Amino acid sequence: MGTYIRYHRNNNLFELRTQNSRYSFFLRDGQYLIHSFYTDRRKKPEEHTVSPRVHFSPYSEEQGKDFFINNILREFPGFEEGDYREAALKIRNQNGDCCTRFIYKKHQIFPGRQELPGLPFAEADETTETLAITLEDKISKCEVMLYYTVFAACDVISRYYTVTNRGKAPLRIERCMSLSLDLSGRREMDWISLPGQYFYERNIQRVPIFEGIQGCGSRRGASSHYSNPFFAVCNRSATETKGDVYGFNFVYSGNFQTQIEACRESSIRIQTGLGQDCFSWLLEPGESFTTPEAVMTYTTKGLGQMTRNFHRFIRNHILPKETQHTPRPVVLNTWEASYFDIDEAKMLTFAESAAKNGLDMLVMDDGWFGARNHDRAGLGDWQPNPEKFPNGLKAFADAVRAKGVQFGVWIEPEMINPDSNLYREHPEWCLGVAGRRPSLSRNQRILDMANPAVVAYLKEMFDQTFRDFEPDYFKWDMNRNMSETGSSFLPLQRQDETAYRYMLGVYDLFAWFRKRFPHAIIENCSGGGGRYDLGMMKYSCQIWTSDNTIPEDRVRIQFGSMMAYPAETMSCHVSNRKHLTEDSRYLNYAYQVALNGTLGYELHLPNMSQTVQQAIAEQIREYKTHLEFLIRQGNYYRVLSPFETPYSAYYFESEDQSHILLTFLQNKGETPRTVKLKLPSADQNARYRDRYTGEIYEGFQLKKGFTLTTSEANHFGRMWALEKI
């Protein structure tokens, strides 16, 4: 018995409670785990009854004729046992078939959680408890340990499992979903996901769930720009503030599959995991395989609350602890200002003007190493280019620091240009399949991170490159997706494991970086936001949200990202749009967009006019003094969606509800009209003063909605910094 997880012996019921939700299932005849409900903690749950007799539904003689496995709600569905919906786990056994019937053996409840070997996972706190249930398929001798971990304070429950081969012959895992949840009844429900593409990541898409299978995923070897592992299922009537919402995410950065299967007779089955494309795993006798962790949350309070549950969870359980309570540096990144055209003298002028204007760090982007004067050569050769840095990197880093800013550096560890010394030495260190010509993308190939020798080499080499001056920040990029995914290191029968083992190699290298350079921040990047996921967030507290820094587009990308991820995970830069940056309205608008995350700049600061430099210095002063804390720790509310209106409006409210930072953004000028801004969480008995104008607002007025007149001008943004008086 735990505080949050209980097993009721009298009715064989397992009950998992979080602050506001309740998840329950029971054991039928000491064998099957049958889902009861996932609901509000205070709500009386609907009784779940075994479904009535239906034609064409198999039953087993042992279980009796009123038990149709295809029509019940299940916690862990196997394959080909008369349940025609998708299985959570499919294994091919020694007889060549894939039948399984996983039967309960025992369970255990313990405080905290277990670590996942080699994988990122959510850290425990004092409200964390775990239920581990052992199941077994007697014929194949396959044992499954199902884990349910409760993060009670955040209303999140996680799921994953370990498969162990207890037999004498090898088994092959052919489908693997970390989480499988059956919701009862035929309800009108919607599915919300975040599809996108390079340069336009994470659009909010809400569509009705239809009968049959729907879902998304990635076969790119990365969670990708095109799909995101987050998704939600909600009642058709759910709004920002009301309605049943179930949110899901996956703590993993490679290929994945999410799936919703709506069946006419019984249920909606929701699953997320590694899936079955681009993945299978050979399990020798005695071996175990652990799936990545999936997480879920439930609320009756609409989409806004689901978002806040996930934001809190990511802040408290996923992001690296050591970066949580210190201010993030405001960086000057060199990419959009200078591209590959960098050298010591030029970079020092950047460092100088960064320091002069109150920025904290120079991040030297691509172009500093090997023959990297363009994107056709040099990746893999991580020694500074002697023509650009004749005194070496240590001397340069010292000089940057002497100017008064920290020093960050761009790397792309997983990639290689065929035109590089490393490739000439080790062509076999790339992913590829025998007999097929490898495809290139951005003139590069992918190192075989499934091969431990490659990972070991990278550790050794980066240690040598950076040991003398330990950068304060790494921007870790990854600029292509997988094709011809095979590893010359792995035997034939394990080729399907390549993409997954690749991710294990990547995580191993990330973990090494964190340990070797414990004070450095790692900013993750994959051609912008191509690996924007919980796996990456375990190692990098911020991610380059998109290569698109045009504020009109960024508004949508950031709004979409925040559906699932908190503001501080988004690196947001005011960028180098030369003709516009000198326009003060534009500069202010770009800043109002970028401050919504972790603020930075990506422009040729030394060449900017004095007026612009002063304006930037003032922005940074304001951000650091009044805004950063609220944005990083506040609760986030959506007000107007850029996916539904020509505007975007949202606010952050401090935990004690004394401060609110409200932003309204309008991309395009229009004939002025009024729009209503409603702040549902405002205290209706309080009064607020806006720090920018001194105006007083009544709480009830904010709650009911106050009007704002839109502007004729392009790039119109307005902010209110409201403080309770």
Active site residues: 477, 547
Tokens read off for 198? 């390079």
How many residues touch ligand DGJ under the rule CB under 6 A: the total is 11
Look-up: residue for tokens 């190493």? 369
CA distance 192 to 230: 9
Which of 477, 523, 533, 653 touches ligand DGJ by CB under 6 A?
Answer: 477
Amino acid symbol at 70: N
User: With respect to ligand DGJ, which residue has the nearer C-beta, 476 or 637?
Assistant: 476
What residues pair up with 146 in beta bridges, in sequence order? 133, 161
The one segment of 149-157, 313-321, 523-531, 615-623 that binds ligand DGJ by CB under 6 A:
523-531
Smallest separation, CB 432 to ligand DGJ (Å) = 23
CA distance 541 to 559: 18
Tokens read off for 449? 């991170």
CA distance 235 to 233: 7
According to DSSP, the β-strands at 570-575 and 542-544 are parallel
User: With respect to ligand DGJ, which residue has the nearer C-beta, 140 or 338?
Assistant: 338
Smallest separation, CB 528 to ligand DGJ (Å) = 5
Maximum Cα interatomic distance, the chain, rounded to a whole number of Å = 84
Helix, strand, coil percentages, rounded to 5, for the chain = 25, 35, 45
CA distance 327 to 631: 12
According to DSSP, the β-strands at 156-165 and 288-290 are antiparallel
Tokens read off for 181? 């949840």
DSSP state letter for 696? E
CB atoms within 10 A of CB 676: 12
User: With respect to ligand DGJ, which residue has the nearer C-beta, 408 or 528?
Assistant: 528
CB atoms within 10 A of CB 625: 9
Smallest separation, CB 37 to ligand DGJ (Å) = 44
CA distance 130 to 5: 7
The one segment of 90-98, 118-126, 256-264, 520-528 that binds ligand DGJ by CB under 6 A:
520-528
Which of 156, 216, 509, 525 touches ligand DGJ by CB under 6 A?
Answer: 525
Smallest separation, CB 201 to ligand DGJ (Å) = 11
Per-residue x/- track, 624-663, ligand DGJ (CB under 6 A): ----------------------------------------
Smallest separation, CB 419 to ligand DGJ (Å) = 15
Show contacts with ligand DGJ in window 11-40 (CB under 6 A): none
Show contacts with ligand DGJ in window 395-454 (CB under 6 A): 410
The one segment of 195-203, 291-299, 445-453, 522-530 that binds ligand DGJ by CB under 6 A:
522-530
Tokens read off for 435? 């007999």
CA distance 379 to 384: 12
Which of 120, 408, 528, 597 touches ligand DGJ by CB under 6 A?
Answer: 528
Q: What angle do CA 618, 620, 626 make, to 5 degrees?
A: 95
Smallest separation, CB 255 to ligand DGJ (Å) = 21
Smallest separation, CB 403 to ligand DGJ (Å) = 22
CA distance 679 to 306: 17
According to DSSP, the β-strands at 361-364 and 406-411 are parallel
Smallest separation, CB 108 to ligand DGJ (Å) = 45
Tokens read off for 532? 């924007």
Cβ-contact 318, 122 below 8 angstroms: yes
Smallest separation, CB 369 to ligand DGJ (Å) = 12
Which of 532, 544, 565, 664 touches ligand DGJ by CB under 6 A?
Answer: 544
Look-up: residue for tokens 């009670």? 152
User: With respect to ligand DGJ, which residue has the nearer C-beta, 329 or 634?
Assistant: 329
Which of 83, 360, 547, 628 touches ligand DGJ by CB under 6 A?
Answer: 547
User: With respect to ligand DGJ, which residue has the nearer C-beta, 304 or 530?
Assistant: 530
Q: Residue 196, interface with ligand DGJ (CB under 6 A)?
A: no
User: With respect to ligand DGJ, which residue has the nearer C-beta, 475 or 632?
Assistant: 475
Tokens read off for 283? 């399990």
User: With respect to ligand DGJ, which residue has the nearer C-beta, 86 or 366?
Assistant: 366
CA distance 228 to 456: 30
CA distance 454 to 462: 12
User: With respect to ligand DGJ, which residue has the nearer C-beta, 161 or 335?
Assistant: 335
Reference 78, options 16, 129, 21, 31; nearest CA is 31
CA distance 252 to 249: 9
Look-up: residue for tokens 């960028």? 575
User: With respect to ligand DGJ, which residue has the nearer C-beta, 486 or 527?
Assistant: 527
Task: Report the residue number whose CB is nearest to ligand DGJ.
Answer: 366
Show contacts with ligand DGJ in window 101-140 (CB under 6 A): none
Smallest separation, CB 477 to ligand DGJ (Å) = 5
CA distance 318 to 538: 5
DSSP state letter for 551? H
Per-residue x/- track, 159-188, ligand DGJ (CB under 6 A): ------------------------------
User: With respect to ligand DGJ, which residue has the nearer C-beta, 335 or 652?
Assistant: 335
User: With respect to ligand DGJ, which residue has the nearer C-beta, 155 or 523?
Assistant: 523
Smallest separation, CB 158 to ligand DGJ (Å) = 30
Show contacts with ligand DGJ in window 311-370 (CB under 6 A): 335, 365-366
Binding residues vs ligand DGJ (CB under 6 A): 335, 365-366, 410, 477, 479, 525, 527-528, 544, 547
